[in-house]
Structure 1
Amino acid sequence: MAFNVVDGWTVPGFTHERELSGGATGRVVLAVDDMTSTKVAIKYLDGRLGADEAFLARFRAAARNLSQLEDPNVVDFYDFVETPDGAAIVMERVDGVGLRRVLAAQGPTGPLAALSMLGGVLLGLAAAHAQDVVHGAVRPANVLVDRDGNARLADFATVPAGTEAQSGPAYAAPELWDGAPASVAGDLYAATAVFFECLTGRPPFAGRNMAKQHREAPIPAEEVPGPLRGLIARGLAKDPEERPKSAADFLAAVEDAAVSAYGPSWEAQGRGRLTELAGQAAAQPEPPRPARPARSSGRNPVVAAVPSARGSRGRWIAVGAAALVAAGAVTGGVLLMSKDDAEGPPDPNPALSTAPPQAAPQGGVDPAALITHIDQATGRAPGAAFTFRRTGCCGAPASGRGTFGLTPSGPASYSMTISGAGATRKAARTVLVQDTVYTPAGKRWRRAPTTGRGYPALAEQVRLGSSVANLTTLLRSATTLRKSGAVYQGEAPVDRLSQADGVGPMYAEMARTTGARQINFAIRLDRGNRPVKLWLRAQGPSKGRAQVLQASYSGWGRKPPIKAPR
């Protein structure tokens, strides 16, 4: 039966369906927007939080930053409502299962599903950290597995500052126990602890004195499969300076370890296994809900601090700060990908297709339709943060990270930090606009053409490898193309790639140095058909003659144009 009052008040304009869960930070109900019929989840904050002005100020600031975020691994936050009677968060209603329930029902997930989970969490953290928002409470209860097997983060910034260690002791970094504020390094530690639990069925540390365990106990890396021990050791390092510098850096290490140990299809296999486990958990009886602590009432009136662009009844703000999964609302059958899903997106209007006609690749996916969707999606959100790595033989090492902006004509502009091998081993800040590369020279900027040597040539290689044009060229040239969830896997002949405009010279050089005749690749897209990951491998006939290229993308949107420095 629908109900409309929670502890004496309700967010106006919604019909409540049922209570979903309760905890230290508040109660969550499933509801329907009376005006738009949109299904949502509403979290009514515990009265103690609603009366805590320091917490409210911090949450408002986080919400303002996250209002710029739209990421497939972060659950959308629609509105923050404050009234004299209480405070509530209106958020996306996700069909899926919480990771805590998956672990409780199924036990360890196995390495592939654990890696898929960690990859999704790191993508979500990278997007939030780019907006200067730290999660502060990464744990299985705040990781959701949706119907496509994607791990999605919820409940950003909902733990009062200074209480992070006590609210999640099994996942709290050593410095949190010493009073340090929540940080990027702390989020990576917690994500690694959750990863360890997926692999082993329990958190890495346990005992009566959790603070001492996190500070002093040896890191139990030997309890996980050998290829993954390095990830555990880095992520659970006692000193935050010894952990990966960013979620993007950690993600690159995860991808390297996964490909080396389980092959290029690790992600699709892991997501499939995670989907299967979530479906099995959802099909089991829901565990009894713990008794809800008494909710305090009474607080000083506060005006609404984060209204949507047209008010709370207008278009939703995609904030991605917190959400709650509709646990148990999805059965195993719903979680499985249907036949229609496997055949790719629907055909667009043929007049919109820019791909030249060619023989359809094996695998049942139309690359022309897919390319059109990608071009349209990136045209609406022509900027993103990215990371890039090229490894392997033949002078291949190269890396870059930063932001880029697409232009209607001409190559994308980049602002990034790059490094390579030899004379370019030291990381250097670089701006790339049109065919000119800018690098710092004291208090000025040195200009050089992209055809130059050293950092200018490296900058152009990073741009070509990470470009959307490279991604669509692979699709257009594919002789085999299959879809698994949100991942497209295929093969493309090097001779065809070498003839492509723009990126052709890059593939010609790959073929010359490795002897490869085929490129194996995998591309992951988000729900809006924007790139999330690119992986490709050029393997020559001789052992050790191979190059691997990886790129990750996050934070797609319209960003200020990248301009040439003065």
Structure 2
Amino acid sequence: MRIGGMAFTVVNGWTVPGFTHERELGGGAAGRVVLAVDDLTSTKVAIKYLAGGLLADEVFRTRFRAAARVLSQLEDPNVVDLYDFVETPDGTGAAIVMQCVEGVSLRHVLAAQGPAGPLAALSMLGGTLLGLASADEHGVPVHGALRPANIMIDAEGNARLTDFATTPPGAEVQPGPAYAAPELWDGASATAATDLYAATAVFYECLTGRPPFAGRNMARLHREAPIPADEVPGPLRDLVHQGLAKDPARRPASAVDFLAGLEEAAVSAYGPSWEAQGRGRLAELAGQAALQPEPPRPKPRSSGRNPVVAAKQPGGGSRTRWVLAAVAVLVVAGAGASAATLLNGDRKQPAAPATAQSSTPQPTPPAGGVDPKPLAARIDQAVARAPGALFSYRQTGCCGFPASGRGTLGLPPGGEASAALPSYSLTLSGAGAARKPVRAVIVQDRFYVRVGQKWRSSPFTGRGYPAVADQVRQGSSVANLTALLRSATRLAKNGAIYEGEAPVATLSQAPEVGPMYARMAEATGVDRIAFAIKLDAGFRPVKFWVRAGPEKGRNQTMRGSYTKWGRKPAIQAPR
């Protein structure tokens, strides 16, 4: 068949039903990738058609199928989404349907721009480790194929992992010999420790412009050559020594442990703003690289030894644990090519003819086509990584509803954004006796207001400023927004804005914010709440409005905005 003027070969002429192909994106040993559009929802996706060699390997397909079920549930800003694994009943065709992400691979960035510098390199490594840690938490402990081609840099400078272990077990050294840990050359299975070795080798390349080891006998170099840490900035050498340790037992115990060491080294060397600066530099490099042609794929190098054969368990199965997270890297040339579009629309697949079947049951989204559960989870995850922000909030409408607040919010450490209401340092005002703006602090279940030169404390009971503060903290919380999304019976996407409706009966049962919606319904007589939420490229809230009642007439409305996510405010109870 022909796509966009280019010839594209698919196995036995089969294509995934319900999609219109637009153009080929590329491919490798695992198969070819095309850009496609869902005929039902008009959502762009990337589809990888598995190569014939993998189709013929029934062990591969069985493990692939099981891994796809797990990974289709993984939602993380540092991992590209896998939507579905589709197969023909006769085994002559199989394909992965994935999220389409427009951006630039790290391989492209390094080929076009050279070394990224210490701050950008640290930011890249941090994002990579976050992706590995999230995958491990969800039951996917091994990537198995980390290299610059499998790390995506978007317009915000975020690193996103792609292609979780599409390489067969025992062959992990072949696609990326410069990043393969010593034990892989000896026939060992891929592990979390080999992932950390590969991530460190990529980090080294970001710092120096080349991998730590290169030559004809890569196996010997990885096993025996001294770690060339002298070429790395002094404050970062210890990270390189840890990650590239020959003995896997001497590497960090996990991605989380490595992240802790990275944070300590980065703050000590470059100050607390290192991450924001590094992300900005990565975004700049990616934008410049996107304007240049995609570099040619490197030719496979001989390892100087026989191919590795995976050790087998009794019964013929490989002892390597299989994981898979599919990749779609779409590099766009021209002005604006560095823009990242994260398409998280309807995952519902159209009814397929009898020639194909889906291995992953797809939930039915509400009217409007957007599945709210993964969206709310993604917001939680994104905001949990940004522990504070500046905010502005205003309530208007009938029935004694007016209230406003502006200042800084801080999220509880170590939990989901929706797990608890945040703390605040703000200027607060309401109606009646609480109309005058005052300085206030909210910490857990206590409210503090500045009266003259003193702070006074009270619980969130009664009238006046405590009641206004309670309204502001509930309405402006991320928990409010995710409650609206999870309760939605209609949810549609328009650019970066999600619009929907949620029944009061469901919202009134939501943790923390339920009583607020019960009061709104009682005051206005409505049974449904309308809302709109705008998100940034990292799935953090930017603006929102919520309305109970008609646009004109008896209603209550909440509006808010957030800026500078990532602040770490020190909000403490005043003395």
- The equivalent of 2:303 in structure 1 is none
From 149, 152, 159, the equivalent of 1:144 is 152
In 1, distance between residues paired with 2:327 and 2:48?
Answer: 8
Deviates more, 1:274-283 or 1:320-329: 320-329
How big is each residue's C-alpha offset from its partner over 1:113-132, in whole Å with a ceiling of 9 and x where there is no partner? 11111111111000111123
* 1:445-483 deviation per Cα after TM superposition (whole angstroms, max 9, x unaligned): xxxxxxxxxxxxxxxxxxxxxxx65xx326x4599xxxx
For residue 215 of structure 2, the aligned residue among 204, 207, 218 is 207
Paired position in structure 1 for 2:68: 63
Choose 1 or 2 for highest CA Rg. Answer: 2
Correspondence for 2:197: 189
SS in 1 for 2:165: coil
Is the alpha carbon distance of 1:87 and 1:291 closer, same or farther for their aligned partners in structure 2, counting shifts above 3 Å? Answer: farther
Asked if structure 2 preserves the Cα contact closer than 8 Å seen for 1:110 and 1:199, the reply is yes
Cα separation, partners in 2 of 1:329 and 1:12, compared to 1, 3 Å: farther
The counterpart of 2:444, out of the listed 501, 510, 517, is 501
Q: Alpha-carbon deviation of 1:190?
A: 0.6
The answer (yes or no) to whether the contact 1:153–1:322 under 8 Å persists in 2 is: no
Q: Distance in 2 between matches of 1:290 and 1:223?
A: 24
Corresponding residue number in structure 2 for 1:437: none
For the Cα contact (< 8 Å) 1:4–1:15, is it kept in 2? no
Which runs of structure 2 are paired with 1:514-525 in the superposition (5 Å)? none
The answer to whether the 8 A contact 2:8-2:24 is kept is no
SS across alignment from 2:22 = strand
Q: Distance in 1 between matches of 2:192 and 2:16?
A: 33
Cα deviation code 1:86-129 (max 9, x no counterpart) = 21111111010011011100010011111111111111000111
Aligned residue type for 1:324: A
> % of aligned pairs identical?
63
C-alpha separation between the residues in 1 aligned to 2:78 and 2:396? 33
Aligned counterparts, 1:454-465, within 5 A: none
Q: How does 1:336-347 map to 2 (within 5 A)?
A: none
How many angstroms apart in 1 are the aligned matches of 2:299 and 2:252?
39
- Cα distance, 1:61 vs structure 2: 2.4
Which of 16, 40, 45 is equivalent to 2:45?
Answer: 40
Q: Structure 1: how far apart are the matches of 2:118 and 2:404?
A: 41
Determine if the alignment matches structure 1 residue 473 to structure 2 residue 423: yes
Other-structure match for 1:111 = 118
Matching of residue 154 in structure 1 with residue 97 in structure 2: no
Partner amino acid, structure 1, of 2:171 = T
Alignment check: 8 A CA contact 2:80 2:161 kept? yes
2:479 is aligned with 1:529: no
- Residue pairs, 1:169-180, within 5 angstroms: 169-180=177-188
SS at match of 2:170: coil
Runs of 5+ consecutive residues of structure 2 not aligned to the other structure: 301-322, 342-388, 429-438, 449-477, 479-534, 542-561, 571-575
Change (3 A) 1:33 1:200: same
| Cα distance in 2 between the residues matched to 1:206 and 1:112 | 24
Is 1:217 aligned to 2:222, yes or no?
A: no
Query: Which of 31, 39, 56 is equivalent to 1:26?
Result: 31
The DSSP-based 3-state class of the residue aligned with 1:167 is coil
- Match of 1:115, SS state, is helix
Question: What is the aligned partner in structure 2 of residue 10 from structure 1?
Answer: 15
Q: Residue in 1 aligned with 2:56?
A: 51
Structure 2 distance, partners of 1:175, 1:40, is 36
Letter in 2 for 1:69: L
Shift of 1:34: 1.1
- Partners of 1:251 and 1:323 lie apart in 2 by 24
Structure 2 partner of 1:335: 339
Matches of 2:182 and 2:427 in 1, distance apart? Answer: 48
Tell me the distance in 2 between the aligned counterparts of 1:261 and 1:185. Answer: 26
The equivalent residue for 1:340 is none
Match of 2:345 in 1: none
Partner of residue 226, structure 1: 234
Q: TM-score of the superposition, structure 2-length normalised?
A: 0.58
Distance change >3 Å, CA 291–CA 116, structure 1 → 2: closer
Q: Deviations over 1:326-384 (max 9, x none)?
A: 112574565399xxxxxx999788379x99844x44xxxxx57xx8xx89xxxxxxxxx
8 Å CA contact 2:144–2:167 kept in 1: the answer is yes
Going from structure 1 to structure 2, the CA distance change for 1:146 and 1:56 (only over 3 Å counts) comes to: same
Counterpart secondary structure, 1:238: coil
* Equivalent residues of 1:286, 1:328 under 8 A apart: no
Structure-2 separation of matches of 1:478 and 1:218: 58
1:74 aligns with 2:79: yes
Contact 1:93 1:326 in 2 (8 A): yes
Matches within 5 A, 1:92-491: 92-133=99-140, 134-288=142-296, 321-329=325-333, 331-332=335-336, 334-335=338-339, 350=395, 357-358=404-405, 360-361=406-407, 469=421, 472-473=422-423, 476-477=425-426
Residue 10 of structure 1 aligns to a residue whose secondary structure is coil
Letter in 2 for 1:99: L
Mapped contact 1:18–1:31 kept (Cα < 8 A): yes
In structure 2, C-alpha distance between the alignment counterparts of 1:72 and 1:320, rounded to whole Å: 17
For residues 502 and 181 of structure 1, do their structure 2 counterparts lie closer, same or farther at Cα, with a shift above 3 Å needed? farther
Q: CA deviation at 1:206?
A: 1.1
